[in-house]
Amino acid sequence: MTTEIIFYILVFIFGTIIGSFLNVLVLRYNTGVSATKGRSFCFSCGKKLGPLELFPVLSFILQRGKCRGCQSKISWQYPVVESITGLLFVGVFLKYSGLIGLYFDSWYILIYLVAMATLVCIAVYDIKHKIIPDGLVITLGLLGLFKIMADFFLMAGVPTEIKTHLIWYLAAGPMLAFPLFLIWLVSRGRWMGLGDPKLVLGIGWFLGPIMGLSAVILAFWTGAIYGVILMVLSKFSWHGLKINGQTEVPFAPFLILGFLLVFFFNIDVLNLGFLIQ
Ligand SMILES: [Zn+2]
């Protein structure tokens, strides 16, 4: 038991380290600066960060969110992205932990860890820039296809079942992406960007038709709830912050939230799971 707790703490720390790398990656994506070049530095005063200042989450708390060189505020994005990545990594290991102590299905874990990191990047990028880079959705799509391949090789069952499973999962991506593509087409990109159907392509390949649909529905629901909250808040000035009712809401974070809810908690909103067993 204690071994497991220590193991999951280590997984969390590993996740936060990957998360701090993702922060830098998203920040420098499409800026021409290599994400791996040199050590991280303060964007205000250019001070190079020491080993302690590079430690995820903890450094932010110890420095009270300020740079040691110039006292400028460090964005909340850093510890939040680091913690979320850590939690997602723990979640992936928990989901695939076998019954016998610390046994894990290594292929699935590897695919899902990279997928989680990609999803974190997509969410942060969409929130910051209101656009989803093609490179990230292509990565997710390829991982989804890898996952179907892993299913194919690891499912040593009846051949016909394997085939049905494979075809349904392959079809799920385009099937679920198509309605969102139509929304993009009809609204000429005003209601939805083209990045959203591309993202759903990968989500469909990962979750299959039933659970993928569940994830998309959850995305619309949570997105609608968020929209209503924004509309209500726009009537008030909240914490001195004026929220504009016209604010364009990025949809990718809700699609990702839907994906995570379905993946970690097996939420099947339409209860259609019986169709494919
Ligand atoms: Zn500084």
Among the ranges given (79-93, 118-132, 204-218, 260-274), the one the predictor scored with the smallest mean pLDDT: 260-274
Instruction: Report the distance separating Cα 27 and Cα 34, nearest Å.
Output: 11
Measured N-to-C along each axis, helices 106-129 and 134-154 cross at an angle, to the nearest 10 degrees, of 160
Ligand 1 centre from 52 Cα, in Å? 15
Instruction: Report the distance separating Cα 57 and Cα 53, nearest Å.
Output: 10
At 277, which amino acid appears? Q
Contact present, 140 and 146 (Cβ < 8 Å): no
Nearby residues for ligand 1 (ion, Cβ within 5 Å)? 42, 44-45, 47, 67, 69-70
Ligand 1 centre from 15 Cα, in Å? 25
Residue 84 C-beta-side C-alpha neighbours within 13 Å: 21
pLDDT in tens, 82-101: 999 999 999 999 988 764 45
Ligand 1 centre from 49 Cα, in Å? 9
Ligand 1 centre from 36 Cα, in Å? 20
Contact present, 249 and 227 (Cβ < 8 Å): yes
Give the Cα-Cα-Cα angle 266, 268, 273 (nearest 5 degrees).
100
pLDDT in tens, 126-176: 998 888 999 999 999 999 999 988 877 776 555 666 667 788 999 999 999
Which residue carries 């799971």 as its tokens? 273
Per-residue pLDDT band at 30 (split at 50, 70, 90): low
Ligand 1 centre from 45 Cα, in Å? 4
Mean pLDDT of 258-272: 90
Ligand 1 centre from 60 Cα, in Å? 13
Mean pLDDT of 214-241: 82
